[in-house]
Amino acid sequence: MLSKVLIIGAGTGGLCLAQGLKQAGVNVSVFERDRTPTDRLQGYRLHISPSGARAMEHCLPSALFREFLASAAKPNTAVSFLDSDLKPLLTLPLVTDPKAESRELPVSRITLRKLLLRGLEEVVHFEKRFHHYEQRPDGRVAAHFEDGSEIEGDVLIGADGASSTIRGQLLPDARRIDTGIVAISGKTQLNDSVRRLTPSAFFRGPTLVLGSGGRFLFGSAVEFPHNGNGHSAGALPVSSPAEDLLFGERAEYVMWGLSCRQDLLPELAHRGEAGSDELMKA
C-alpha cells in the first residue's frame, strides 16, 4: 500500500490527481515552482470532455464538483471548418446531453485551478522548484529541490508540463521536436462590433479556418448563460480594462490563434515571447 505520493507540478493534472488521492485516503504532497497560487493568472479556457468531467466527479468532493459545473461557460454545439473566404467546408455537430457532466464544459483555467486548490492547502507546497530525483536502494524515491531540501516517497509523479524536468532525467532521449510552425494568439473582448465581425461558426464552437500554404486560423467564442434581463450572468462589462480580459474569470471574448510556417513570419521564428506592438507589426 502506498504511504506517500509526491507530485511535481500544481497544474490541472497534478491538482486533480491530488484531489483524487486525498479522497482515497492516500498521503499526497504537491510541489509547485510558483511562489503563490496567483503568480500566473492567464491562459485560455480549457474544454473538459465528458470523460474528463466524469473523472473530475470521481476525484472531487461533491460540493466542489458542483461548483466546477456552475463555473462553466456555454457548451459548444459544433466543430466547424471554413475556407479562407469563411465559407463552410464541414460542420460536426456535438452531441448534447441534459446532464451537464455529460457535455463538453468550457472552463477558465484560473477558476479551475482555484477550485482544484480548495482543500489542498496543507498538501500543496509553493516556491519549490524541482531539481532532480534519486532512486533509493529500498525502492523509495527522493525528490531534490533547488533550495537544497529533499523529501522521500513511494511514487514520484511528473505533472510539470511539456518541459518536464522529471522526464528530462527519466527519458533524456525523449526530445520535443520543433515542427517549424509559429503561432500568434490572443483574446478579443466581445462587444456589439466584435459580434458583428465574428463568423457565426465561432459562436457554435471551435472553428478552423484553412488558408493556403499551410496557414490556418483557430477561433472560438466564450459566452456565459444569460439571465432574464438579457445580460450574461457574471460577465464583465464591455468597458472593463484589458487586465480584466486577460485575468477575468467571467469575461466574454473571442479567442483566436494564427499558425503558419516559420518562413512566413520570420520576425517571430526565433522569439520565445513578443509584445503586442511587435506582434501587430509582424
Report which of residues 198 and 179 the model is more confident about: 198
Q: Which three cell numbers stand for residue 35?
A: 511562489
Among candidates 32, 21, 111, which has minimal Cα distance to 59?
21
Q: Which among 188, 186, 200 is positioned nearest to 254, based on CA atoms?
A: 188
CB 91: neighbour CB atoms within 10 A?
15
- 214-265: pLDDT as tens digits: 899 999 999 988 655 444 444 434 334 444 444 456 789 999 999 998 888 7
Q: How far apart are CA 243 and CA 241, in angstroms?
A: 5
CA 18, CA 28: separation in Å to the nearest integer?
6
Question: How far apart (Å, rounded) are the C-alpha atoms in residues 152 and 134?
Answer: 9
Out of 32-46, 95-109, 130-144, 213-227, least confident range: 95-109
Instruction: Work out whether the CA dihedral 262, 265, 271, 272 comes out positive or negative.
Output: negative
Q: How many helices (H) and strands (E) does the chain have?
A: 8, 15
Return the domain boundaries, the chain.
Answer: 5-74+104-170, 181-281
- Taking 70 as the threshold, does the pLDDT of residue 270 lie above it? no
| Contact yes or no for 146/131 (Cβ under 8 A) | yes
Assess whether pLDDT exceeds 60 at residue 20: yes
CATH classification code of 5-74+104-170: 3.50.50.60
Residue 15 and residue 112: Cα distance in Å, rounded?
10
The pLDDT of residue 207 is: 96
From 280, 2, 278, 282, select the one nearest 139 (Cα to Cα): 2
Give percent of the chain with pLDDT exceeding 70: 80
Give the per-residue pLDDT at 277. Answer: 64
**Between residues 128 and 280, which one has the greater pLDDT?**
128
Average pLDDT, the chain: 85
**Closest by Cα among 208, 9, 183 to 90:** 208
- The DSSP letter of residue 74 is P
The pLDDT of residue 268 is 62
Which pLDDT score, from 0 to 100, does residue 231 have?
Answer: 46
